[in-house]
């Protein structure tokens, strides 16, 4: 049980790190206006607190999803490791098989 929790926590941490690296560029790509000619500027008036709330909520949601997926991957790794470890050895030839 301790090994399962350790692998799940390690997976959650790895998922969190990966999400922290992947989500910000995705947010920038998603929020980038498309279809504008090269060099054209976008005239926009935004409410900065709403923009900050949106970006941080999406980042935290992405990190939570990454941590959850990492924990599931850690649990799956533990299950695979445990199933391979508990296999019973194949029985060898019986000693009385050749005597008849």
Q: How far apart are CA 21 and CA 70, in angstroms?
A: 14
- Give the pLDDT score at 99: 59
Domain ranges of the chain: 2-30+48-83
pTM of the predicted structure, to 2 decimals: 0.69
The 3-state DSSP class for residue 97 equals coil
Tell me what the mean pLDDT of segment 92-96 comes to: 72
pLDDT digits (tens, 9 = 90+) for 20-54: 999 888 888 776 666 666 776 767 777 888 888 88
12, 71 in Cβ contact below 8 A? Answer: yes
Q: What 8-state DSSP symbol labels residue 16?
A: H
């Amino acid at each position: 049980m301790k090994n399962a929790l350790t692998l799940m926590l390690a997976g959650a941490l790895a998922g969190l790190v990966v999400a922290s690296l992947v989500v910000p560029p995705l947010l920038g790509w998603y929020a980038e206006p498309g279809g504008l000619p090269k060099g054209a500027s976008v005239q926009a008036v935004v409410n900065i607190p709403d923009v900050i709330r949106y970006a941080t909520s999406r980042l935290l949601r992405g990190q939570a999803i990454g941590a959850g997926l990492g924990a599931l991957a850690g649990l799956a790794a533990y299950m695979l490791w445990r199933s391979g470890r508990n296999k019973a050895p194949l029985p060898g030839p019986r000693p009385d098989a050749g005597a008849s």
